[in-house]
Structure 1
Amino acid sequence: MAKRSSGERREPTFGPSSESGGERRKPANAGRGNAGRKKKRRAQRSVFRRLVYWTFTLGIWAFIGAAALVAYEAAQLPPIDQLAVPKRPPNIAILAADGSLLANRGDTGGAAVHLSELPGYLPKAFIAIEDRRFYSHWGIDPIGILRAFVNDVTDRGSMQGGSTLTQQLAKNLFLTQERTISRKIQEAILAIWLEHKYTKNQILELYLNRVYFGSGAFGVEAAAQKYFGHSARYVSLAEAAMLAGLMKAPTRLAPNRNPVGAAKRAEQVIIAMAQQGYITEAMAKLALAHPAHAIHEKNNGSVNYAADYVMDRLDDTIGAINSDIVVTTTLSAPLEREAGAALTSVLDAKGPHYKVSQGALVALDPNGAIRALIGGRDYSESQFNRAVSAKRQPGSAFKPFVYLTALERGLTPDTIRADAPIDVGGWKPENYEHRYLGPVTLTKAIALSLNTVAVRLAVEVGPAAVVRTAHRLGINSPLEANATIALGTSDVSPLELVAGYAPFANGGIGVEPYVIKQVRTTGGRILYQRRYSDYGRVIEPQYVSMMNTMLEQTLAIGTARRARLPAGWQAAGKTGTSQDYRDAWFVGYTSHLVTGVWVGNDDDSPTRRVTGGSLPVEIWSKFMTAALKDVPPAGLPYGIWHNPNPVVPQGMPPQGDVPVANNGGFGQPFGAGQQAPNNAPVPVHAQQGWRRAPGPGWGHDNDAPPLPPASIPNAGSQPQRKTFFGLF
């Protein structure tokens, strides 16, 4: 049988093939297709296995790397067993005499408060806006971190950040403010440690007392006092929301600088509190309808000058401060406000015209307790305390010490001395416009601030005696014992000059100015309690009466006659103006208060003819009118002096002994080796005793030129500082 050729066509068969022996024959490429699919599946499984493998491997290495990084950062921290929350810097609460808060001092700016003392909605406000899962997480909130990450990526922003309250506390307690991965890792480590070490409420209390709220306030108490003027214990819901809102950006959102931004953030806090069920919808609506407003410090925070002085004295009183303390002072909050307002209002209105840039005011009780102390016109611009630290020439405000020395050596208010040219070793002090009144009583001479009479008395009693008198009455600064002391050429501070006048107001008792009454811990333990003390009697009663009678006339007819007080008050005092109008003073007193005012310029430049009888008297009047309001009027101690000697008619020679003060051999009243000029008669008693005589014609002698209107220095004085001409 012939063989089929290789090209023979074959028809398909549907039954068993005779050639196959009844078995079906598979297509030639079927095996190859299955093998390919199997290889593909095996390849896919291999890729997946490799992916899983490398993912797992990389994950392990990532975990190891992260653990190593955490271990490294942890190693940079102190050992956990030695880690402790840093002690909070002590706060010094400075209280007025009535117990009201004047200021806080210390690094924090406010005292610590316990969580139990705060209204419940205050801590809840912080939880709602800063860390809603505070009571459920363990220091780190992964959900919060993820949410913050998503919001950052999608640029949607978020009311709440990724850091928990515990992390924020860790940052504030232990770390710097740098924004690095390293710091975030350390922050997380410390947060976990804090959660392990303290309870949630302890952490929350630490947080509220340590975090920064802007404007120099650390802790919620300092912030509440700074922005709202009262304790955190009494904040409203709206105020609590505003405080909590500051955590996002305390400096940028400080309500005293950015009220709009602070209010918007507070709205977000209130909404968050309502959403989380911390407050009712009605409470939220009420808080949104009545938003919080930051207070504005009055008089540029002038009370801070007094607070600074308290801190200076505190160091000498109790030494090192290791815990929160409360200092009760002699200061009066209302008088501080009135003093600051009087000084700033006058200087703001008239300072530019008269080229006066600064001033100071001190008010004492006659027993030495400081009631008000203002060291400048604007504390925010200059913290230099001129009331305490500035040493300036008092000019004629120093003359009471000269006259008191003369009285104590035998003269009286009615003693006559010549207002005439005088030459003391080549120094020739002059009066206003080179005019002289001739024979005048000492009372008239001090009321009109006649320079020649004051110098004549200083030479007569001896400059050293004048210095001793001033030191005895409370002047602590070094004083030059020469004839120019009569015109106040030695520098003194306002505080010590006012203290030197206090014996005139209290009946002759020397005082030391003081401001601290008591110091105690916040727990009530007394650290210091002032006991009454004084320097004893420094002026005999008869001389107190004489000086008050003389100085009263300064306000009645003399250089301070523009002074104004409530009806019924008896007052006395003395103006002063230094060389070239550089300094202008007025120190005046009643039996209730002794107040001194200084105005001038820090660079010692001349003012525009400002005298003690102008701006200082105006400031003094404004303050004293407010200070004595509603206080029953009272006279000065020991009443008005009356001349016990017989009246000598004008033109008659002196009768009896002629009083001449003992000067300890210093020299002649008219200069060494000189005789009295013709118009300077031998001292005699006054032709008549006199009292307050406010008639318009008083103060003019029949044949004397008209008196100058006020204590204006000699316009023709020489430019050198040490000539001392025309000092009133």
Structure 2
Amino acid sequence: MRETGGRKPPLVADRRYGGQPKAAAKPKVAAKPRVARRPARRAPLPVRLVAGLFRAVWRVIWGIGWRLAAMGAIVTGLATLYFYAQLPPLDTLIDARTRGSVTMLDREGQVFAWRGETFGGTITADTVSPELKNAIVATEDKRFYRHLGISPRGIASAVRINLAEGRGPLEGNGGSTITQQVAKLICLGVPYDPKAWKSEADYEADCRQSSLMRKIKEVPFSFAMEAKYGKDSILTLYLNRAYLGAGARGFEAASQRYFGKSANEVGPAEAAMLAGLLKAPTRYAPTANLQRAQDRAAVVLGLMHEQDFLTDAQYRDALANPARLSKAAEARAGGYFADWVMDAGPAFLTQDTTEDVIIRTTLDQSIQKRAEEALSYVFETKVKAGSKAQAAIVVMSADGAVRAMVGGRDSTVSGAFNRATQAIRQTGSTFKPFVYAAALDMGYTMNSLIDDSPITLYVKGSGEWTPKNYEPEFRGLMTLTDALASSINTATVRLSQAVGLDAVRQVAADFGLQSELAQGPAIVLGSSGATLLDMTGAYAGILNGGSSVHPYGLLELRIQGDDVSLMGQEGGMGERVISENAARQLTYMMTQVIERGTGRRARIEGHEAAGKTGTTSDYRDAWFIGFTADYVVGVWMGNDDNKPLTGVTGGGLPAEIWHEVVTRIAADLPPTPLPMIRPEDLPPPEYVGQTWQAGGGADPYAGQLQPYPGQAAPQTQPAPAGGESLVDILTNILGRRN
């Protein structure tokens, strides 16, 4: 055997078979020993029982649940089909008001007030301003165009908020979609029946109530509306049916009322304010509180910006320039006047109208605003803080056309107690001009003399009555002009006895004092009651030359859209009460009240003015009524509870209010002289004699003319109380005295 390199050659098995030799086999790896698997541990028996019970209950619940869900879906579907078939055509739902509206125009044809429920006309989702459409969607239902009528997410969120705030799940936030809100607005298809409801307000309140059954009913009704009308038509209903405060029904009416423009034209700031009203129309109405409305609009603008309806620039601009009211809405002029006109017209065309009515009136908004400003100025600067005193103002033309009316210190109201037309108060010395009017109409003149000295009259049923003057001293003989200028009670009573109380009462009634007049002699000192409107109308009769007037505010009434007038002017000048000569003398006498008498605080520089003060017993009422050549203005002041005023007379605060009103009105008017007769145009003075006879009884010389000492008696002056000449009267008097 041969050796190689000192190593033995590998052993090779004998090749017994042909072919290639097989590769050496790999060594086997020992297998891992098999570990015996332990049997699984079973849960304790109680656990297995509970789990089995849970699985059984779940199978029952699931079985019942899906069946109930299926049944609910079927019922909802059937209810949806039912409501779908019941829903009326869309156009019948746009304006379903049972009451109409009254729109009032001033003397220039401008809108100044609305009453009832105003509907501005149909506006659609296609024609409304895009900003307003976006504001409504952003505020009320941001998923409006993505849901089928209800929003489960919105409802769940509302329930969570209500529970978190301690309310019931359906109280407060309702999570209603716009579709559901429209369903409420149309009362789930239940029409208003006057026989079933006390009023439309009760019907609407019931429609707005939330309950579980009503919420359930809303679901298929909303589905039916979505299927029948579609999104834009539902939004159209919402635009026209939503109540937005101040009597405005629908966004078109609200836009016209607050901004004086169509809802098609509003910008982002105005749109946000209108959309903000949906949350609480009365609270957020800009006519109630503009700042609060603007704050609410800012919230809406924020929602619009978050939802990409406004760019950053548009958002900043809208915040910097918030919406403001139109001039008419801002002024809210003539609330008392509008209420008076509504009461003056027939109810079926005003308070109870089922039509939309247009009333053209006599109101002058400029004068109205100035009267309101004058009243506010005097109360702010000259009335003690905390005073409960009230005041009223009426401004009218000589024919009785009312140009302004303020029925109380709060001038921006509607439906409030109107002290200018509803308060019947004692007139005080503002009644005295009717005594002098009766005398002048009988033939006395402003130069006639009357005695200011103590006088006592016997009043049947009351005994002796002795009138007193404001100042204790007596002045003796004075002209009628002086007696009226100084408001002398004793002289006025003497004059009334001369002409007769029946004549005085007749003149006052013919001039328009319609309340029951007192029967006793105290009537001449203003013991009878009257409204400020009637008193101002009576003074208008003096300005116009002696003819009565019936105060009026309505010029024309017609149905909106019609050219034919249903009513024309109600009121104006009537029959003559006193002669023009008497009226012109009385006008001069009343100028002296302002120039040198009790009404000096009412004097207007550069303008002739006539008037009369009035203060009732115990200072319960204070008046000043007067006129320039252009307007008659009446002012009353007092307490609603009839308590005495503190240190207020007609020549004080009422005269100052009158002065402020007339000064503001006359600022734009050229000075015009009053039509009057002056003393130098008349004969010399005469004396109206009357003395008290001891033991009571009427003065036998009452009503007789006597010569003024030192004056020659005019022979041609007719006797006022009869057809005798002055010579005959003097002869008779001397004969009696002898």
Question: What TM-score range do you get, normalising by the shorter chain?
Answer: 0.7 to 0.9
For 2:65, the equivalent position in structure 1 comes to 58
For 2:720, the equivalent position in structure 1 comes to none
- Secondary structure at 1:486's aligned position in 2? helix
**How far apart are 1:673 and its partner, in Å?**
4.3
Aligned CA-pair RMSD: 4.5
Residue 126 of structure 1 pairs with residue 165 of structure 2: no
For 2:489, the equivalent position in structure 1 comes to 451
- Secondary structure at 1:431's aligned position in 2? coil
For 1:416, the equivalent position in structure 2 comes to 449
Q: Which letter maps to 1:672?
A: G
Rounded to whole Å, the distance in 2 between the matches of 1:506 and 1:688 is: 34
Alignment counterpart, residue 269 of structure 2, candidates 238, 260, 266: 238
Alignment of 1:396-407 (within 5 A): 396-407=429-440
For 2:100, the equivalent position in structure 1 comes to 90
Taking structure 1 as reference, are residues 118 and 129 closer, same or farther at Cα in structure 2, changes over 3 Å only?
Answer: same
Rounded to whole Å, the distance in 1 between the matches of 2:482 and 2:329 is: 42
Alignment of 1:30-429 (within 5 A): 55-65=62-72, 85=93, 86-87=96-97, 89-106=99-116, 108=117, 111-112=120-121, 114-115=123-124, 118-134=128-144, 138-141=148-151, 162-174=175-187, 176-195=207-226, 198=229, 200-213=231-244, 218-221=249-252, 223-224=254-255, 232=263, 235-250=266-281, 266-267=297-298, 269-273=300-304, 278-292=309-323, 303-315=334-346, 318=349, 320-352=352-384, 357-378=389-410, 383-425=416-458, 426-429=464-467
Rounded to whole Å, the distance in 1 between the matches of 2:695 and 2:628 is: 36
Do the aligned residues in 1 keep the contact of 2:452 with 2:490 (CA within 8 Å)? yes
Higher relative contact order (CA 8 A, sep 6+): 1
Bigger radius of gyration: 2
Residue 616 of structure 1 pairs with residue 661 of structure 2: no
Rounded to whole Å, the distance in 2 between the matches of 1:235 and 1:686 is: 80
For 2:718, the equivalent position in structure 1 comes to none
Rounded to whole Å, the distance in 1 between the matches of 2:63 and 2:562 is: 64
**How far apart are 1:412 and its partner, in Å?**
0.7
Do the aligned residues in 2 keep the contact of 1:256 with 1:296 (CA within 8 Å)? no
Alignment counterpart, residue 603 of structure 2, candidates 553, 556, 564: 564
Rounded to whole Å, the distance in 2 between the matches of 1:154 and 1:432 is: 71
- Residues 131-161 of structure 1 deviation map (CA, whole Å, 9 limit, x = unaligned): 3454565544567657878999999xxxx98
**How far apart are 1:244 and its partner, in Å?**
1.4
- Secondary structure at 1:323's aligned position in 2? coil
Rounded to whole Å, the distance in 1 between the matches of 2:621 and 2:105 is: 33
Contiguous gaps of at least 5 residues in structure 1 = 1-26, 34-43, 649-653, 662-666, 690-728
Contiguous gaps of at least 5 residues in structure 2 = 1-33, 41-50, 166-172, 188-205, 459-463, 713-738
Rounded to whole Å, the distance in 1 between the matches of 2:595 and 2:694 is: 29
Residue 555 of structure 1 pairs with residue 555 of structure 2: no
Rounded to whole Å, the distance in 2 between the matches of 1:264 and 1:484 is: 59
Do the aligned residues in 1 keep the contact of 2:363 with 2:403 (CA within 8 Å)? yes
- Secondary structure at 2:394's aligned position in 1? strand
Residue 467 of structure 1 pairs with residue 515 of structure 2: no
- Secondary structure at 2:425's aligned position in 1? coil
Taking structure 1 as reference, are residues 345 and 221 closer, same or farther at Cα in structure 2, changes over 3 Å only?
Answer: farther
Rounded to whole Å, the distance in 1 between the matches of 2:508 and 2:694 is: 20
**How far apart are 1:524 and its partner, in Å?**
3.7
Residue 684 of structure 1 pairs with residue 716 of structure 2: no
Rounded to whole Å, the distance in 2 between the matches of 1:520 and 1:511 is: 25
**How far apart are 1:309 and its partner, in Å?**
1.1
**How far apart are 1:681 and its partner, in Å?**
11
Q: Between the two proteins, what is the percent identity of the paired residues? A: 38
Taking structure 1 as reference, are residues 57 and 368 closer, same or farther at Cα in structure 2, changes over 3 Å only?
Answer: same
For 1:537, the equivalent position in structure 2 comes to 576
Out of 118-127 and 128-137, give the one that drifted further.
128-137
Rounded to whole Å, the distance in 1 between the matches of 2:248 and 2:217 is: 26
- Residues 654-712 of structure 1 deviation map (CA, whole Å, 9 limit, x = unaligned): 7xxx7789xxxxx99996244779xx9964369799xxxxxxxxxxxxxxxxxxxxxxx
**How far apart are 1:329 and its partner, in Å?**
1.4
**How far apart are 1:583 and its partner, in Å?**
0.8
- Residues 557-587 of structure 1 deviation map (CA, whole Å, 9 limit, x = unaligned): 11111213251x2211111111111111111
**How far apart are 1:376 and its partner, in Å?**
0.9
Rounded to whole Å, the distance in 2 between the matches of 1:216 and 1:418 is: 61
For 2:640, the equivalent position in structure 1 comes to 602
When the two structures are superposed, what TM-score results if normalisation uses the length of structure 1? 0.75
Rounded to whole Å, the distance in 2 between the matches of 1:207 and 1:407 is: 68
Residue 503 of structure 1 pairs with residue 541 of structure 2: yes
For 1:18, the equivalent position in structure 2 comes to none
Do the aligned residues in 2 keep the contact of 1:301 with 1:378 (CA within 8 Å)? no
Q: Which letter maps to 2:370?
A: E
- Secondary structure at 1:480's aligned position in 2? coil
Q: Which letter maps to 1:166?
A: T
When the two structures are superposed, what TM-score results if normalisation uses the length of structure 2? 0.74
Residue 546 of structure 1 pairs with residue 559 of structure 2: no
- Residues 579-609 of structure 1 deviation map (CA, whole Å, 9 limit, x = unaligned): 1111111110012100110101111111123
- Secondary structure at 1:475's aligned position in 2? coil
- Secondary structure at 1:102's aligned position in 2? strand
Rounded to whole Å, the distance in 2 between the matches of 1:97 and 1:275 is: 47
